[in-house]
């Protein structure tokens, strides 16, 4: 997967990962991919809701150990 931008939100709790993702997406072009790495377990459902509300596509979500990775496609 060709990700154009990645942000590290490890150690941050809701709503900070979403706010940082929103800011990053605003600076990106339509169709570009953003990867967000988080340690907040609630980020799994938060990013699902964020994608539904904003129209950005949640391309992938996965977790390993205590990290959660979200990939969004800019609308």
- The residue from 4, 5, 12, 14 that is catalytic is 14
> What is the gyration radius of the CA atoms in the chain, in angstroms?
11
User: Got the DSSP string for 10-44?
Assistant: TT--TTHHHHHHHHHHHTS-TT-EEEEEE--TTHH
Q: What is the Cα–Cα distance from 26 to 35, expressed in whole angstroms? A: 14
Q: Is 14 a catalytic residue?
A: yes
Catalytic residue numbers?
14
């Amino acid at each position: 997967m060709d990700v154009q931008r990645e942000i590290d939100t490890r150690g941050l709790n809701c709503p900070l990962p979403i706010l940082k993702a929103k800011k990053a997406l605003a600076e990106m072009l339509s169709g570009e991919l953003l990867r967000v790495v988080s340690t907040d377990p609630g980020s799994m459902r938060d990013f699902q809701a964020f994608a539904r509300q904003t129209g950005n596509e949640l391309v992938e979500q996965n977790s390993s150990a205590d990290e959660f990775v979200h990939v969004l496609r800019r609308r």
